[in-house]
Amino acid sequence: MGVEEARLLGHNIINYILDLGKDIAYSAISFKYIASTDELIPIAIIIHPTDNIFKDLSINIISRMLNEAKGYIYGSSNDAGILLPINNSFDLYNKIATIIPQIIKQLLNKDVKPMIIGYDTEVL
The whole-angstrom separation of Cα 30 and Cα 44 is 5
CB 122 within 8 A of CB 11: yes
| 56 DSSP β-pair partners | none
Mean pLDDT of the residues in the chain = 90
For the chain, the structural domain boundaries read: 3-122
What is the four-CA torsion angle of 102, 56, 44, 12, rounded to 10 degrees?
140
The whole-angstrom separation of Cα 26 and Cα 46 is 8
Higher pLDDT: 92 or 5? It is 92
The residue-averaged pLDDT of 83-97 equals: 94
CB 114 within 8 A of CB 21: no
pLDDT at 8 over 90: no
* pTM score of the predicted model: 0.89
List pLDDT tens digits, range 96-105: 999 999 999 9
Closest to 78 (Cα-Cα) out of 106, 55, 60 = 55
List pLDDT tens digits, range 39-53: 999 999 999 988 777
The whole-angstrom separation of Cα 103 and Cα 18 is 14
pLDDT at 54 over 80: no
One-letter amino acid for residue 116 of the chain: I
